[in-house]
Amino acid sequence: MVGALERVGVGLIAGSDSGNAYCFPGFGLYDELELLVRAGLTPMRALQAATRYAARYLGLEHAVGTVTADKAADLVVLDADPLHDIRNIRRIHAVVAT
């Protein structure tokens, strides 16, 4: 159903790992992004669902959600391109926290 929703333009955001006793924050998001891609989203769109569009939904797009001047951003430096293979989100080299 997620792929069909994406195809007709329904706004989707990621973040189902919060509040669930069986999902660990961070690790649950890896699984969720991989499942979004499996459902039909592009890797870029899945990443945006966890960043840009989540910030927009929360009314925080002026402050977070993209790497832009005057916005707060924590960065994850990866050893491989997640746009090539979404599973590369697990290949963390470094984290830069503000």
Which token pair is 42? Answer: 């592009």
How does pLDDT run across 65-75, given as a tens digit for each residue?
Answer: 999 999 998 89
How does pLDDT run across 38-87, given as a tens digit for each residue?
Answer: 999 999 999 999 999 999 999 999 999 999 999 998 899 999 999 999 99
pTM of the full predicted structure? Answer: 0.88
DSSP class of 64: S
- Give all strands (DSSP E) within the chain, no chain letters: 75-78, 92-96
- How far is residue 69 from each of residues 4, 50, 72, measured CA to CA in Å? 35, 20, 8
